[in-house]
Amino acid sequence: MQVILKKDIPKLGKAGDIVKVKDGFARNYLLPKGLAILANQKNLKALEKERRIILAKAERERKKIQSLAEKLQGQTLTLYRRVVEEGRLYGSVSAIDIVKALEERGIEIDKNQVLLEEPIKSIGVYEVKIKVGADLSVPIKVEVIEEK
């Protein structure tokens, strides 16, 4: 089945591309989520008009992602936490803590964008990746220090 992509989809194509996918993938995922439309004669004619709109929207999204990446570049967060023994934290530092610390600096992200494999449970400096786009993540430093 051929479909016209409305949004960029990793490993499949960019917005406005005509791609061939399996019928089930199109019917069960792409079409219901509004990520693509069928590539029939009517839609192909409309594609030329929509293509400009789709590409302009994708460009705005890319600029937004690039702006966020520039804000995050080189950020170092310092978080103060209580320590129980030998550098172990009382509790942990989670993705939500990182989101709140970034919000204090005026950077709005979602907790799902913080690529933290497991919560931070000891004092130290950690590199945490923030996913800003489908194929772009920016590393930031998170420094956890003992609260006095």
Give per-residue pLDDT as tens, 60-116. 988 988 888 888 888 899 999 988 888 788 888 999 999 999 999 888 888 888 998
Tell whether 62 and 117 lie within a shared domain. no
pLDDT at residue 29, rounded to an integer: 93
CA atoms of 23 and 66, how far apart (whole Å): 34
Tell whether 102 and 38 lie within a shared domain. no
Residue type, 59: E
Helix (H) or strand (E) holding 135: none
CA atoms of 138 and 128, how far apart (whole Å): 8
Q: What is the pLDDT of residues 111-132, one digit of tens each?
A: 888 998 888 999 999 999 999 8
**Of the residues 45, 66, 87, the one at which a domain ends:** 66
The reply to whether the predicted model has a pTM over 0.85 is: no
- Per-residue pLDDT for 51 more than 80? no
135: Cβ contacts below 8 Å, ≥ 6 apart? 10
In total, how many domains does the chain have? 2
